[in-house]
């Protein structure tokens, strides 16, 4: 089972597999709607200002969380090491696991890339 959001042709819409069945649901992050039965039969009938509607179903919540991480990772990949380390301190102090986790991933990617580069240079030295 894939529990990672997948992009679709519409940039606002992502796909996410059900946590319990073989179904795959479409989640419109801009509109805040999901194609799952819980959303389509219950939450969609609530007023848009209703806290339960705003909280959304578990798929919408997961997709928002993953989208925030993905955005933070895309930004982190463009920053230099000094800014990443400052950002890591800042977001870690705030207890923001999504952003501090994305920064850690970006730093790890660089470490792996540097090791691969060093190994390649050693091969041809
Ligand atoms: Zn849903």
Are residues 39 and 81 both part of a single domain? Answer: no
Q: How far is the CA of 22 from the centre of ligand 1 (A)?
A: 14
Of the three residues 20, 39, 65, the one that is the final residue of a domain is 65
Task: Check residue 48 and report its DSSP letter.
Answer: T
Q: How far is the CA of 101 from the centre of ligand 1 (A)?
A: 25
Q: How far is the CA of 33 from the centre of ligand 1 (A)?
A: 8
Q: Is residue 70 part of a domain?
A: no
Q: Give the per-residue pLDDT at 2.
A: 53
For residues 50 and 89, give the distance between their C-alpha atoms in angstroms, rounded to a whole number. 36
Are residues 6 and 59 both part of a single domain? Answer: yes
Q: How far is the CA of 8 from the centre of ligand 1 (A)?
A: 16
Of the three residues 30, 45, 65, the one that is the final residue of a domain is 65
Q: How far is the CA of 50 from the centre of ligand 1 (A)?
A: 16
Residue 16: phi and psi, rounded to 5, are -145, 130
Are residues 40 and 8 both part of a single domain? Answer: yes
Q: How far is the CA of 77 from the centre of ligand 1 (A)?
A: 30
pTM across the whole model: 0.74
Q: Domain count of the chain?
A: 2
Are residues 60 and 81 both part of a single domain? Answer: no
Q: Is residue 71 part of a domain?
A: no
Q: Is residue 85 part of a domain?
A: yes
Q: How far is the CA of 10 from the centre of ligand 1 (A)?
A: 18
Of the three residues 34, 65, 96, the one that is the final residue of a domain is 65
Q: How far is the CA of 73 from the centre of ligand 1 (A)?
A: 25
Are residues 95 and 49 both part of a single domain? Answer: no
Are residues 20 and 45 both part of a single domain? Answer: yes
- At 3, the pLDDT band (50, 70, 90 cuts) reads confident
pLDDT in tens, 24-78: 999 999 999 999 999 999 999 999 899 999 999 999 999 999 999 999 999 999 9
Q: How far is the CA of 109 from the centre of ligand 1 (A)?
A: 32
Residue 76's CB is within 10 A of a number of other CB atoms, namely 23
Domain range for 92 is 77-125
Angle (nearest 5°) at CA 68 between 66 and 71:
110
């Amino acid at each position: 089972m894939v529990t990672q959001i997948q992009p679709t042709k519409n940039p606002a819409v992502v796909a996410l597999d059900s946590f319990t069945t073989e179904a795959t649901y479409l989640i419109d992050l801009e509109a805040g709607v999901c194609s799952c039965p819980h959303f389509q039969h219950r939450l969609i009938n609530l007023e848009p200002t209703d806290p339960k509607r705003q909280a959304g179903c578990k798929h919408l919540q997961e997709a928002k969380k993953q989208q925030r991480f993905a955005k933070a990772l895309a930004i982190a990949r463009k920053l230099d090491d000094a800014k990443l380390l400052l950002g890591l301190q800042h977001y870690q102090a705030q207890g923001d696991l999504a952003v501090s986790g994305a920064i850690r991933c970006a730093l790890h990617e660089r470490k792996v890339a540097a090791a691969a580069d060093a190994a390649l240079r050693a091969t041809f030295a």
